[in-house]
Structure 1
Amino acid sequence: MEAHVLAGAATDKNLELVLDVLPALIVILAASGLCGWLARWLWQPRVLGEMVAGVLLGPTLFGWLFPDAQEAVFPHEVTPILYVISTIGLTLYMFLVGAGLDHGGGERGGAHRPVVLAISGIFPALILGAAVGFTLWSQLSRDDVGRWLFAIFVGGALSLTAFPMLARILYERGLQNSRLGRLSLLAASIDDAAAWCLLAVLSAVHLGDGSSALRTIALSVLFVAVALGVVRPLLRPLGRAVARAGDISLGHTYVVLLVPLAAGWLTDWIGIYSVFGGFVAGLAMPRDAAFRRLLHERMMNVVSTLLLPVFFTFSGLNTQLGGLTGGTMLLSFLAILAASFAGKYFGCALAMRALGFSTRESYAVGGLMNARGLMILIFINIGLAQGIITREVFSMLVLVAVLTTAAALPLYSLALPRRLEAEQQRPAAPEPEKTAAPA
């Protein structure tokens, strides 16, 4: 009799939890849809509106204006559920990002160009961000985080480019196969891959002493080696089968979902967060163009529409912009914002000029590469979850993500108006290599 009573009580509690989670999801999707539509109306990417919606649903606006209503929609017992949903969503999203990276063929007219542009986007922002973090460590950092670890984390966050958002902007404007579009996408993919490697090392160092950090790094290297050296060849028949059939069958869908989730579980066990596993699982997927296209068509809409808005809201619940109003905090934020803008925008623009592009083309690419969007949010959420940064620094970097992403398209359009952009929409043609002048 007592067992039946306990079972009934547990069922009632689970039902109450479902009734708490569903209203939260409804509010999240409604707000994301509305803000996404407003962003498109303002000639901004939809994902920017979804990011802003997540911030507005947190204590910055919703919790400030209607604290009782926010507590009713997002009670404390719902937060862990949102965290689980957002983690699954991020793992699958990073899986799709990894699967979508184009490893074949270099940039026409010079295979070195994407590497040069990527380096120019990584190192100036990393160095400037680390310098600001090193200087502000005593004001902003936790006591248990070393000065160098904090500084490099801030620099790493600022070195990111939002590869998926950049791809969306270029596809919306028909520039994905243009000379500038292909070069920017390849450079952004290198930027992001380098940032994830850096974060894996920082996480390993922060989460343990020297021996455990070495163990985590060694296991991470082994995981990547097995994924790319053993699992990837085993998955090639999957790509060929999907390409022949022209569709991803139900059986293939099980495999496609099991691989990133299992990889995420393994990397969580290793100690470097599940998004790394999802990203590497994507890199291990078959490179067949038909397979990659079908994979994105099958999964991206669901992941982007249902799961990612939950992540944005979870980030927004941890964002308190009201804490940045003090003089010290405001100056610290402005220093971080200036470092993020100058390092990426001018670094990429000057590199493009050195590669022989026009001034307008150079600053157009600099504006695009300055967008950080979703990628920096993933980066700093891991840092917050692992205790590398405080909520105040997290809030600053969320605002940096929103502002730099919002500025990307206006900066691009200012440098390359529609009348000049039409010339870029023609597919890139091979360019003759320039011969060096005689000494």
Structure 2
Amino acid sequence: MKCFLWALGFLSPLLAGCARGFGHLNLTEVAFGGQKITGRPPLFVPLTLIQSAAAKGAVCIDGSLPGYHLHRGYGAGANSWIVQLEGGGWCNDINTCLYRKKSRRGSSYYMEKQLPFIGILSNKPEENPNFYNWNRVKIRYCDGASFLGEGYNGVAGLFFRGQRIWLAAMEELMSMGMRHANQALLTGCSAGGLATIHHCDGFQALFSGNTKVKCLADAGLFLDAVDVAGRRTLRSFFGGVVNLHGVAGNLPQTCISRLNPTLCFFPQNVISTVNTPLFLLNTAYDVWQQLQESLATKQADPHGYWEECKMNNAKCNAGQIQFLQGFRNEMLNVVKSFLTSPKNGLFINSCFAHCQSERQDTWFGSNSPTIRNQGIAKSVGDWYFDRCWVKEIDCPYPCDSTCHHLVKRKKRHPPSLL
């Protein structure tokens, strides 16, 4: 190999060359996935509904057809495919699923008819140098359980058919030429990143041995961590998702045979058993998991001690930063065995962010986040094309001056679903 990129940040508290300081990006001032769009306008790709899905019972929570956005590749990328699984949280009980049923996360009736393809889906070589001319697909997320559920609640009229949606989408794409791919990459962010990990080996099984198949999970490494009140908020939440949606039957048997289904829903308990080459792109201080929905929820922090820190990492006090450093250490312990496999890749930076492959400013740009001058898009490309082993772990916050931290402003109206 021409290079070997491996910065073990957890072995050294401060790597050489790390500069102190940080910048912030205001979420209320940006568009298209939380970012300003500069340069040429993005490509907008129309929604296609999977007409064959209804006969298979592969429907959204409300019974509507699932869908995807596809932009065809060309030239050298005409026979290569990226399949991105959309993220957007989960619903863990009847009430939250009923709410989701009336949104784009539970019904194709509410989905955007066109979406901008940016970041890893961009069609511009200056924005996406490794994959711009591939066939690029975004599969919409409307089942509420990371494309893994199998069930139906007749009383509430809720369909839990995530696994069927996954299979119906794969069947349609294979019929459209993906079965002949010479290169394929499955990716997704957040709930889509978790789904990518669980479906990675199944994705590889679709192809012959002649296809180069890998998977990229962005912000999908959700941890079974203890929150600020000493409880396991996310374990309780995921337990509701697994039980309500009937997820257990679609989780890997290698995990189910030794752990309960809820624990097997957590990626940390399955990443080392995934046979397909897998790349984990994550922040050590994920703003969704750490501060908003897992470690410092309103239930865990009823007096609002963490409120300012949740809105702006620069307002976290020393005790809060110490708590978050403990979360980072837990993440690094989780990936230790994952790192031992030469086929896997890793990029964990010390930013307060979420979903870095879907944002143009973090994926590939003149000031995108880096670890030792290595950006995210280049790291993923080097790993996918076997140019390098990429196992990058950043030094602890606040040493990284390249981060695009997300600052959340309070809104006067109810927030939309994640």
Give the TM-score band, short-chain normalised. under 0.3
Query: Computing the radius of gyration over CA atoms, which structure comes out larger, 1 or 2?
Result: 1
Q: Which structure is richer in relative contact order (CA contacts within 8 A, separation 6 or more)?
A: 1
Greater share of residues in helix: 1
Provide the TM-score with structure 2 as the length reference. 0.27
TM-score by length of 1: 0.26
